[in-house]
Amino acid sequence: MSQFEVKCPMCKGTLIIDPVNQKIVEHKSHEHQKANFDDFLKNQKKGVAWDEKMKKAKEDEERRKAEIENKFKEAKDITIDPEEKESMRSPFDWD
């Protein structure tokens, strides 16, 4: 009988097994891809872009919040004429 190969799902290596002895004859390890410094720098620049987008979104949110606060203050400062106030009485006072 001939030997057969099995790929390890964990280490991605190859095991060569002898079926007669039921033992591993050889183990070939998987060559891992070496890290590239240029790729690392490109990924870092992408991270900076995300940071800028998050900063811009936070500034936009703060600006919108300030606008809403200003509108609320303006609406709160509007005075009601006494004649209008009289016409806006509670419906429970109608009886």
Q: How would residue 1 be classed by pLDDT, with cut points 50, 70 and 90? A: low
Burial (CB count <10 Å: 0-12, 13-18, 19+), residue 17: middle
Q: How would residue 86 be classed by pLDDT, with cut points 50, 70 and 90? A: low
Q: How would residue 37 be classed by pLDDT, with cut points 50, 70 and 90? A: confident
pLDDT in tens, 48-82: 777 788 899 999 999 999 999 999 998 888 776 66
Q: How would residue 23 be classed by pLDDT, with cut points 50, 70 and 90? A: confident
Q: Contact, 23 vs 17, CB < 8 A? A: yes
Query: Domain ranges in the chain?
Result: 1-30, 42-72
- Report the C-alpha gap between 81 and 45 in whole angstroms: 60
